[in-house]
Structure 1
Amino acid sequence: MDRRLQIVMDAHDPRAVGDFWAHVLGYVQDPPPEGFATWEDTLRAWGLPEDRWNDAYAIVDPDGRGPRLFLQKVPEAKAGKNRLHLDVGLPGTAGHGGPPDRPAIRARAGELEALGATRVKEFDDAQQGYWIVMQDPEGNEFCLV
């Protein structure tokens, strides 16, 4: 996989936010390094204290096409609006191509709300299109398109 692009997010709980995004994107946990069966085995072998095992977490596209998402633990809370956000299409769609499937996008928003996301605002504009602004469980904005 070409790793020139990695998206990094700050989080209080990297594993929980990473698991949320893995569900949203259809990603999986980044596998442990060769020679280790689990990340716990890896971190133990590296001598990292157990209370630091959630300092970082990474998820990857199982097909190797999308960028790696790396979550790093930070002490401070999110402040203000994101300067960068992700636009996320429905599973199984290729992106912006035809008219938006409003009921399917609304249903996906409801599914993600059940996982801890928050629906912020719904936009429906004849010129710009249709999307729903959401926040992940720690308040990072993204759009369902």
Structure 2
Amino acid sequence: MAIAYQVTFDCADPAKLSEFWAATLGFQLDSPPPGFASWPDFLKSMNVPEENWNDASAIVDPDGVGSRIYFQKVPEGKVVKNRLHLDLRVSGPRGTSGEKNREKIYQEVARLQGLGATKFHEHNEMGEFWIIMQDPEGNEFCLT
């Protein structure tokens, strides 16, 4: 039996980064617990000081298929390359025309730059093309 998992990002601004990744992946912000109309209502009920309301955030696949992604505030900034990163296949299935794939990848680069991402580096190796991107906090991910 497969083990369920969630991916966790350490970050400086969980609200901002979760909004970026929700828009990137087509996810939505996680709903507050049952019985609460909003996260602020829930956090108030738990006596969480308002200055700590942006200590965490999470996004979920609206179809319930993908894993939950959690964002937690940490005091230190990112200083080295990620040891783990996401590859986002936006070009379609393998075997699709190479030029069509590039076009789809470049379209996604433009969309994500509009959301705050940065294009970092292009790769074309052994017949595969991908672009390394960085999210608004500098975390690397690839568009394939």
Q: Which 4+ stretches in 1 moved above 2 angstroms?
A: 95-100
**Displacement of 1:115:** 1.3
Structure 1 residue aligned with 2:40:
40
Alignment partner of 1:5: what SS? coil
Alignment partner of 2:69: what SS? strand
Alignment partner of 1:105: what SS? helix
CA distance in 2, matches of 1:97, 1:49: 53
Structure 2 residue aligned with 1:140:
139
CA RMSD of aligned residues (A): 1.7
Alignment partner of 1:44: what SS? helix
Alignment partner of 1:79: what SS? coil
Q: Flag structure 1 segments of 5+ consecutive residues without an equivalent.
A: none
Task: Describe the superposition over 1:95-126 as per-residue Cα deviations: whole angstroms up to 9, x where unpaired.
Answer: 5453451112111101111211110111122x
Q: Flag structure 2 segments of 5+ consecutive residues without an equivalent.
A: none
Structure 2 residue aligned with 1:110:
110
CA distance in 1, matches of 2:3, 2:24: 21
Pairing 1:70-109 to 2, within 5 Å after superposition: 70-90=70-90, 93=92, 95-96=93-94, 98-100=96-98, 101-109=101-109
Q: Letter of the aligned partner of 2:136 in structure 1? A: P
Q: Letter of the aligned partner of 2:96 in structure 1? A: G
Structure 1 residue aligned with 2:65:
65
**Displacement of 1:143:** 0.2
Q: Letter of the aligned partner of 1:19 in structure 2? A: E
Provide closer, same or farther for how the CA distance between residues 52 and 9 of structure 1 changes in structure 2, counting only shifts above 3 A: same
Identity of aligned residues (%): 48
Provide closer, same or farther for how the CA distance between residues 57 and 3 of structure 1 changes in structure 2, counting only shifts above 3 A: farther
Structure 2 residue aligned with 1:31:
31
Structure 2 residue aligned with 1:52:
52
Provide closer, same or farther for how the CA distance between residues 51 and 122 of structure 1 changes in structure 2, counting only shifts above 3 A: same
Alignment partner of 2:71: what SS? strand
Structure 1 residue aligned with 2:17:
17
Provide closer, same or farther for how the CA distance between residues 10 and 97 of structure 1 changes in structure 2, counting only shifts above 3 A: farther
